Structure 1
Amino acid sequence: MLSKALLRLGAGAARHPWRVVVAWLVAAALAVLAAIAVGGRTADSMTAPGLDSGRAAELIERAGTGQEGMTAQVVVAPLDGGATFFGDDGVRAALVRLQAEVGRLPHVLGTSDPAGALEAGGDAAVRGGLVSADGRVAVVRVQYPDQSRLSAEDLGALVDLGDRLRAELPLRIEMGGGLFYAFSDPDGGVSELIGLLAAAAILFLAFGSFVAAALPIGMAVFGLTVGVATMTVLAGVMDVPTFAPVLGSMVGLGVGIDYALFVLARHREYLARGCDPHEAAGRAVATAGRPVVFAGGTVVVSILGLAVANVPFMTVGGFAVSIVVLIMVVASVTLLPAFLGAAGARLARAGRIGRALRTGRPGRPAGQRDGVAGAAPAAGWRRWIGHVGRHPVPYAIGAAGLLLAATLPVLGLRVGLPDDGSLPHSRTERRAYDLVAEGFGPGTNGPLVIAADPAGDAGVLDRLVGAVAADPGIASVAPMHVDRATGIATVVVFPTTSPQERATADTIARLRTDVLPSAIGHGPARAHVGGAAASLSDVGRRTSQRLPVLVAAVLAMSFLLLVLVFRSILVPLKAVVLNLLSIGAAYGVMVAVFQWGWGGALIGLEATVPIVSFIPMFLFAILFGLSMDYEVFLLSRVREEYLRTGDNGTAIVEGVSRTARIITSAALIMVAVFLSFAVAEDPSTKMFGLGLATAIFIDATVVRMVLVPATMTLLGRTNWWLPKWLDRVLPRGPVGTDGTDDIGAGSEGGASGPRLVDR
């Protein structure tokens, strides 16, 4: 049985704590050394099989134009407000020098030549898209090889050159492009520290002990070190997306501290009942460890369900994040009991400060505390749940209406990818973006690359360029490049609208469905629309199409697992519906903040942005798994009370009130960790942080403390209805919810003492 295995594992770790700690230290050291030796950098490959932008990328790579590599751009403007590149020899000479020095940087394959174009005349420079029509802005586009041959040192060399030339040339110099996106330090370090400090404060208030507060933090840091190092090793053999380490840190810290909190709370309860520390640790892992293993496994399976999207970078990203979650589960049932064993009986005593904060009476005896360990349910929670149970209809209608109202903004959800225009003005990428938009138009920041294989029809290329240039969504067309060896042509076109706007996606769709087919005709020639904007538009459409498949798969899996755990039909069905409500409300809040700008300034958002195309799918997989933590923890306790008393009302009041404090403490920790990432600079990180924090807050408050007791009261004894034929088919007690405890003797009553379960 799982309980007996966990009992032996936890008790063994508690009896030999330093062996386990040393083993984890060795594992962490080996993981870090492996990351240094064979690890790779994260890389974004925003493509998926069967997409038109992917076919364009294949043609571009065959043509060998160099456009398949990494790019950067240096945007310059005269410091003198009255000078232009057309008539001022001094700023033109400065542009020549800048262009030459950029071209001499390591790994630079070449640059555009605005200075040479100006020598041929201002009109030529403007037609080539290198100098703005007013002569105030010039762009030096820098071509690098593919990302695998580059490193952060290349970005550092470009940035250092810019810093030096700003002091020597009469030019305003700003920089941006893919090189910055690939090698800028990701958000996370400061956010992780803030999250850890907030979690430590909440744990201290919950337990009233510095030692008790430190153990979950220490376990989470160990697990996160091993998890992130493993992710780095994984990046050496596959393309791990850049958001994976940040998301892994976010989710890993949240679930790791939460899981440790569940086990630690049960451990202190057993200490209060007279168990010695080793036995208490083993029994805590055997009881609280069961829902931890179940909930962690559900999170992992939900995240791995992202594979249904058929978008490789999402599948790999989900796999990387799930590794971190799995490591946290293992740490919860091995490293944490070792810490508990090393701490000994000190965990049974709350500090004087914490006791005063939690009870208001410094000298209150330990046996009378209503602490997180749950010796007695908090009277306040019991009164609240009883009040909801006496008025279930208005509370159920009111809470459901509130969540549905919060979900309404989802009807206006628009997917895309925030570009450099959504970064703070303190970043040079944002200033470069604004300069380009000001000088050349907003579409210049999101060029499209049309790749065409004429298949021997030479006239098709002229027809194609003419048709594209005539489209109302295209502002300008750069000169065509034709590869002599393959005959493949590539042409860069600039839309009239910015990459974030819906009109840009409409232009891409129109080029594919109307403009290019009309120009090519029915011959063997083919043409495809690529570029970053097109790739992200394609991925967004693919994820939107596959999201219903993921939702259906996760809902079905969750329903079946809960039926197996709780031996009921209505309880799992209710859980699935309520989880959908909380996730829908979180989506609605994201739309209101990021697309409408409501309260965006509170998290440092300087401009409205679309929702990142892959985030809704990622959030659904993660949140549905995380919500199962509280679902299993709360309903298991309700189920235990129902089996003990046979009274539905008593089971709800006792079960919810006994778990309320630990659920709210755990939720506060998760919310604090996730919100610490919501203040990061990158909008994608903000979306992940705010979306996760909002959903967890709603789930632990409105759903668990209002909707669950209200709906379960209304359903009455039918909560636990199960057809007889299904009852005979299902296995018994998968996680100890059958009303017995398979741990064995060792409680305060010895072999004949009460059997303890953690449902």
Structure 2
Amino acid sequence: MPGPAQHPSAPTASPTGTGSPDDRVPLSSALGRLGGFCARHPAAVIAGWLLILMASLVGRHLASPTFSDQVDLPGTASDRGAELLAASLPEAGRPNGKIVFHAGTGTVADRRSAVDLTLADLRGLPHVTAASPPVTSDDGRTAYTTVSFDVQLKNLGHDYTDRLDTATEPARAAGLGVAYGGDLEQVVREPADDKLSEGAGLATALVILLLAFGSVLAALLPLVTALISVGVGLSLVGLVAAVLSFATSSMTLAGMIGLGVGIDYALFLTTRFRQDLVDGRDPVDAAAHTAHTSGRAVLIAGATVAVAMLSLYASGLDFIGRIGLAGALAVAVTAGAAVTLVPAALGLVGRRIDRLRLRRPVAESGGRHDGWQRYACLVSRRPWTFLAVGLAVLGVCSVPMLSMRLGHVDAGADRPGSSTRTAYDWITHAEGPGFGAGANGPVLAVVDVSGARTPVVARIRDDVTAALKDTHGVASFSPVKASADKKILVTTVIPATGPQDAATGVLLDTLSGQTLPRALHGTGAHAYLTGAVAGQADFRDTVGDRLPVIVATVLILAFLLLMTVFRSVVIPLKAVVLNLFTTAASYGVLVACFQWGWGDSLLGVSEPVPIESYVPMMMFAIVFGLSMDYEIFLLSRIAEAWHRTGDNRLAVGEGLSATARVISAAAFIMTAVFLSFTASPTVVVKMFALGLAISVILDATVVRLVLVPSAMFLMGRANWWIPRRLDRVLPRLHA
């Protein structure tokens, strides 16, 4: 590929033809020296990591981490309503959950003595303040009691389920079915145990590594080092969770990301190491050179992922920010292991890395006649065609995103047979006031009458009652009652539809925006909706409002980092635009599979569900961070060739042919790891797993192998343009 004259900013090729001057002096950098040290003392470094792993596992066990999906939303209507309840009617605002009884034959009333004994035992449990008289369905076969607590349910711990089982034993002994619903899911729902998913993902990753490398040791090395680093990373998350309460999905998400990037980083380093061996370096020198070159790209890639994850704190929601913190901690440990543990392992195996062969091992680059080299030439000849096809694929995948509906996945989507799902179904299918799908998500309407004139308070009660009767979507509501201090009026509204139904969201908007304001107009009173469902609606709206802040934060930080690393304005601009396309496409697939129900049977989801409110925000940060991994690995090789030759076309072709194989293998591995987590019983974990898998495979194939090279071929030397004044003020940071 003949190119133009040498670009002024590109250094001349080394006289030996071995690359840039940095390539010939691998120990001149701190990373090179660190990699060389680890390769020369592999036993000590590996032993150190194993000691850290054991110590962190013990520490996590002793620390007793806590996980909860409780979200605080200060300043929202639901929060204000909760404050009013706590001040004037604390018993109504206390944390509570439902215990549901169901008679397979006969009625619940036939076992009244057993139910009464159960209620007495429940009232005697620690932290229980009340257990209401049972509300019974019209046919008498289903009943439930609302149990109130004096602490947040997340603080009871999952061991509290044993106490509930003991207290409800009389009802079970009498032949009644017993299930726990409502907010008791925080007690009975253990954090997802995804060991089977992880095992399946690791097995698939091993097969792909064997196919990619052709030798057993080369395939096992990335896997083993990734497992050690992920073990340390998750233990660190557990230690932090003893101080900061993380969401229940945090550990699984951190494990997914840590395992995926851990294998990827080790794969990139091992591939470069094997190429250096082919080029004639001795193992220690090759490990040092690998750390000096690819190690820099790994650290920058890891920093990009961590920064993207930590940017979630810009949402202003601790719940969201802490999930990002969990992922960032796992990635930070993984990146640290990549530049220490991996060089040590490479130094330990040395040239024996290809001893146990399944086929002829493949190094980083196959030479001029390599298939990827021919593919690069094809893209360079028809860049417009490849660009159009790639954009069309992403465009089609993005279409469903236009109908995305955010919400909360309720217990109706839990695993069939689980206690929470059983309680949900019994209440849904029973008939009578207080039953139906909406009874699984009652809404408390709190009217603050402290500022109203005394003569109109009675009229307010009547007006609110009349307004609720005339509101479409209200199945039933309790009598509007005043608190003892006469400062608030309270009623419990049962929607006609389930908590995750779109119609329930419409009802909440109608109640808060039209029904109650009209009923209270001119009285000086104000109404607030509170409770779990109202809180989830406020959370949805808050997340939706703050999503643009997260998007802007991530884009700006990524743009600045890439501009600093690659000394270009065009390259980071192209990167952020293409990553927006990738994110849109992955959102579209999520909507089609979960909201439209196209993947219900394959994913093990019993019904179409809305997209969990915080999933798009989390996915954007994670997808952007992970996609930057591949961007940095590809562009770092292109930049190497550009600085050596000054020929954009030659640089893009050389970088693509050198990294396409390893990027493809890495993407398939990460996709396999993520897809394995779709077997998780938690629907939100399934969403993350599928969304991340789709985004990775689209990014590494359509974007990284089609759109990036075709766009760079079209833009030519403009890829490397940066104003000289800006170039002088930016810090020097190279990948």
Aligned to 1:127: none
Residue 76 of structure 2 is aligned to residue 51 of structure 1: yes
Partner deviation per Cα, 1:250-301 (whole Å, 9 max, x = no partner): 1111111111111121222222333332222222111111111111111111
The SS at the match of 1:275 is coil
Work out whether residues 378 and 657 of structure 1, in 8 Å CA contact, stay in contact via their aligned partners in 2: no
What is the 5 A alignment of 1:311-330? 311-330=317-336
Aligned equivalents of 2:170 and 2:351: distance in 1?
Answer: 61
Provide closer, same or farther for how the CA distance between residues 278 and 490 of structure 1 changes in structure 2, counting only shifts above 3 A: farther
Tell me which of 233, 244, 259 is aligned to 2:239.
Answer: 233
The SS at the match of 2:159 is helix
Residue 555 of structure 2 is aligned to residue 555 of structure 1: yes
Aligned equivalents of 1:381 and 1:11: distance in 2?
Answer: 31
What is the 5 A alignment of 1:57-96? 57-63=82-88, 65-80=90-105, 83-85=106-108, 90-96=110-116
Aligned to 2:351: 345
What is the 5 A alignment of 1:308-707? 308-347=314-353, 349-353=354-358, 355=359, 359=360, 371-374=362-365, 376=367, 379-439=370-430, 440-455=435-450, 457=454, 458-459=457-458, 460-461=460-461, 463-479=463-479, 483-484=483-484, 487-522=487-522, 525-707=525-707
- Structure 1: any 5+ residue segments left out of the alignment? 115-129, 360-368, 737-759
Which stretch shifts more, 511-520 or 300-309?
Answer: 511-520
Provide closer, same or farther for how the CA distance between residues 271 and 67 of structure 1 changes in structure 2, counting only shifts above 3 A: farther
Tell me which of 105, 108, 116 is aligned to 2:128.
Answer: 108
Partner deviation per Cα, 1:156-200 (whole Å, 9 max, x = no partner): 33346667854x323333332322234522222222222222222
Work out whether residues 365 and 657 of structure 2, in 8 Å CA contact, stay in contact via their aligned partners in 1: no
The SS at the match of 1:40 is coil
Aligned to 1:13: 38
Aligned to 2:138: 133
Q: CA deviation at 1:479?
A: 4.8
The SS at the match of 2:420 is helix
Work out whether residues 21 and 335 of structure 1, in 8 Å CA contact, stay in contact via their aligned partners in 2: yes
Aligned to 2:181: 176
Work out whether residues 641 and 655 of structure 1, in 8 Å CA contact, stay in contact via their aligned partners in 2: yes
Aligned equivalents of 1:565 and 1:330: distance in 2?
Answer: 20
Aligned to 2:291: 285
The SS at the match of 2:674 is helix
Tell me which of 246, 254, 263 is aligned to 2:260.
Answer: 254
Give the TM-score normalised by structure 2. 0.89
Partner deviation per Cα, 1:562-609 (whole Å, 9 max, x = no partner): 222222232222222211111111000000000111132112122100
The SS at the match of 1:288 is helix
Aligned equivalents of 1:251 and 1:159: distance in 2?
Answer: 36
- Structure 2: any 5+ residue segments left out of the alignment? 1-21
Amino acid at match of 1:277: P
Amino acid at match of 1:434: D
Aligned equivalents of 1:646 and 1:3: distance in 2?
Answer: 24
Aligned equivalents of 1:27 and 1:526: distance in 2?
Answer: 57
The SS at the match of 2:476 is strand
Work out whether residues 468 and 515 of structure 1, in 8 Å CA contact, stay in contact via their aligned partners in 2: yes
Partner deviation per Cα, 1:681-720 (whole Å, 9 max, x = no partner): 2110010000000000000111111112222222223222
Q: CA deviation at 1:68?
A: 4.8
Aligned equivalents of 1:293 and 1:486: distance in 2?
Answer: 62
Work out whether residues 3 and 290 of structure 1, in 8 Å CA contact, stay in contact via their aligned partners in 2: no
Aligned equivalents of 1:13 and 1:64: distance in 2?
Answer: 64
Aligned to 1:119: none
Amino acid at match of 1:302: A
The SS at the match of 2:99 is strand
The SS at the match of 1:352 is coil
Question: Root-mean-square deviation (CA), in Å?
Answer: 2.5
Q: CA deviation at 1:466?
A: 4.6
% identical aligned pairs: 40
The SS at the match of 2:98 is strand
Partner deviation per Cα, 1:38-69 (whole Å, 9 max, x = no partner): 34311222232321112122223334634555
Partner deviation per Cα, 1:632-682 (whole Å, 9 max, x = no partner): 111121222233333333222221011011101110111011101112121
Which stretch shifts more, 586-595 or 677-686?
Answer: 677-686
Which stretch shifts more, 278-287 or 373-382?
Answer: 373-382
Q: CA deviation at 1:101?
A: 4.3
Amino acid at match of 2:143: A
Provide closer, same or farther for how the CA distance between residues 544 and 378 of structure 1 changes in structure 2, counting only shifts above 3 A: farther
Work out whether residues 77 and 137 of structure 1, in 8 Å CA contact, stay in contact via their aligned partners in 2: yes
Q: CA deviation at 1:540?
A: 1.0
Q: CA deviation at 1:483?
A: 4.9
Aligned to 2:227: 221
Aligned equivalents of 1:215 and 1:180: distance in 2?
Answer: 41
Partner deviation per Cα, 1:66-95 (whole Å, 9 max, x = no partner): 455543322223212xx345xxx5344444
Work out whether residues 89 and 484 of structure 2, in 8 Å CA contact, stay in contact via their aligned partners in 1: no
The SS at the match of 2:491 is strand
Amino acid at match of 2:566: F
The SS at the match of 1:424 is coil
Partner deviation per Cα, 1:715-751 (whole Å, 9 max, x = no partner): 223222333443444445x215xxxxxxxxxxxxxxx
Q: CA deviation at 1:208?
A: 2.6
Work out whether residues 106 and 154 of structure 1, in 8 Å CA contact, stay in contact via their aligned partners in 2: no
Provide closer, same or farther for how the CA distance between residues 682 and 377 of structure 1 changes in structure 2, counting only shifts above 3 A: farther
Aligned equivalents of 1:222 and 1:488: distance in 2?
Answer: 57
Work out whether residues 70 and 154 of structure 2, in 8 Å CA contact, stay in contact via their aligned partners in 1: no
Work out whether residues 287 and 347 of structure 2, in 8 Å CA contact, stay in contact via their aligned partners in 1: yes
Aligned equivalents of 2:28 and 2:619: distance in 1?
Answer: 31
Provide closer, same or farther for how the CA distance between residues 207 and 96 of structure 1 changes in structure 2, counting only shifts above 3 A: same
Aligned to 2:7: none
Work out whether residues 94 and 170 of structure 1, in 8 Å CA contact, stay in contact via their aligned partners in 2: no
Provide closer, same or farther for how the CA distance between residues 163 and 193 of structure 1 changes in structure 2, counting only shifts above 3 A: farther
Provide closer, same or farther for how the CA distance between residues 64 and 214 of structure 1 changes in structure 2, counting only shifts above 3 A: farther
Partner deviation per Cα, 1:218-243 (whole Å, 9 max, x = no partner): 22222222222222222222221112
Aligned to 2:3: none
Work out whether residues 154 and 187 of structure 2, in 8 Å CA contact, stay in contact via their aligned partners in 1: no
Provide closer, same or farther for how the CA distance between residues 149 and 709 of structure 1 changes in structure 2, counting only shifts above 3 A: closer
Work out whether residues 475 and 494 of structure 2, in 8 Å CA contact, stay in contact via their aligned partners in 1: yes
Amino acid at match of 2:87: R
Aligned equivalents of 1:70 and 1:211: distance in 2?
Answer: 54
Amino acid at match of 1:272: V
Amino acid at match of 2:396: A
Give the TM-score normalised by structure 1. 0.87
Provide closer, same or farther for how the CA distance between residues 537 and 208 of structure 1 changes in structure 2, counting only shifts above 3 A: same
Aligned equivalents of 1:421 and 1:500: distance in 2?
Answer: 9
Aligned equivalents of 2:486 and 2:532: distance in 1?
Answer: 23
Which stretch shifts more, 672-681 or 607-616?
Answer: 672-681
Work out whether residues 222 and 267 of structure 2, in 8 Å CA contact, stay in contact via their aligned partners in 1: yes
Aligned equivalents of 1:3 and 1:401: distance in 2?
Answer: 46
Amino acid at match of 2:443: L
Aligned equivalents of 1:34 and 1:132: distance in 2?
Answer: 49
Work out whether residues 438 and 494 of structure 2, in 8 Å CA contact, stay in contact via their aligned partners in 1: yes
